[in-house]
């Protein structure tokens, strides 16, 4: 009789523990949900404010839409009306990026270096100045690699031309050798023919 009671008591205790554990989990989830809603409600305006204050990449619109000409002309026009006191670094940076971007129809590394260099010189303390310095370094590295590639290509073309010249000389020498061999053969045939005629005359 004691064993069934013990099993019943153990089952009852296990059942109560399961109920308590589930209640605790539900309570904990409710607390986290409550604080989560409060946090989101309190932080949402701040997040919206932060997103609104984050600066956009100037040429982003032109890159996405492909309207490079309109963007470039607009910035060039504003730049003509701008002075050092009016903070023109954004305009210089925008124009520089349009010329630096390889997929832009106005891609021109020399012009990009010009505008980025002017930005660095005129606005050395501007955050855009440091970005322009990075662009300048990248463009200069690309130019150096391009010059190296052209130099190597020139050397390759020169060696190919030298090889072709040597091959031509070899073919000319081979033709001369073949001609000399043909002349020697003809000379031998003539000598044999003369020898046969001499024998005919003598005998």
**What is the predicted pLDDT for the residue at 38?**
41
CB 116 within 8 A of CB 135: yes
CB 112 within 8 A of CB 99: yes
- The mean per-residue pLDDT over the stretch 171-183 comes to 86
CB 59 within 8 A of CB 98: yes
- The mean per-residue pLDDT over the stretch 93-100 comes to 95
More confident residue, 90 or 200: 90
How many Cβ atoms are within 10 Å of 197's Cβ, its own excluded?
Answer: 10
* Cα dihedral sign, 97-98-104-109: negative
pLDDT digits (tens, 9 = 90+) for 99-138: 999 999 999 999 999 999 999 999 999 999 999 999 999 9
pLDDT digits (tens, 9 = 90+) for 3-53: 454 454 555 545 555 554 454 445 444 434 544 444 444 444 443 433 333
**What is the predicted pLDDT for the residue at 187?**
83
**What is the predicted pLDDT for the residue at 67?**
92
Cα separation values, 124 from 117, 118, 119, 141, 190, Å: 10, 10, 7, 22, 93
Cα 133 → chain centroid: 18
Task: Decide if pLDDT at 165 tops 80.
Answer: yes
**What is the predicted pLDDT for the residue at 19?**
52
Q: Is 95 exposed, middle or buried (0-12, 13-18, 19+ CB in 10 A)?
A: buried
Q: pTM of this prediction?
A: 0.54
More confident residue, 16 or 195: 195
Nearest to 58 by CA among 102, 91, 88: 91
pLDDT digits (tens, 9 = 90+) for 72-93: 999 999 999 887 766 789 999 9
Any idea where the domains of the chain sit in the sequence? 1-54, 61-203
């Amino acid at each position: 009789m004691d064993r069934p009671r013990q099993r019943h008591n153990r089952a009852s205790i296990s059942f109560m523990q399961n109920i308590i554990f589930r209640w605790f989990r539900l309570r904990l989830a409710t607390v986290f949900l409550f604080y989560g809603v409060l946090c989101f409600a309190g932080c949402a305006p701040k997040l919206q404010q932060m997103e609104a204050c984050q600066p956009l990449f100037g040429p982003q619109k032109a890159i996405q839409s492909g309207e490079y000409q309109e963007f470039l002309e607009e910035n060039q026009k504003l730049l003509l009306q701008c002075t050092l006191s009016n903070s023109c670094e954004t305009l210089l940076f925008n124009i520089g990026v349009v010329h630096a971007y390889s997929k832009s129809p106005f891609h021109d590394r020399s012009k990009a270096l010009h505008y980025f260099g002017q930005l660095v010189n005129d606005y050395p303390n501007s955050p855009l100045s440091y970005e322009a310095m990075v662009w300048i370094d990248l463009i200069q590295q690309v130019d150096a690699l391009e010059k190296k590639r052209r130099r190597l290509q020139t050397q390759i073309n020169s060696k190919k031309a030298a090889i072709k010249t040597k091959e031509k000389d070899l073919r000319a020498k081979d033709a001369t050798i073949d001609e000399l061999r043909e002349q020697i053969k003809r000379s031998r045939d003539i000598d044999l023919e003369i020898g046969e005629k001499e024998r005919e005359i003598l005998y």
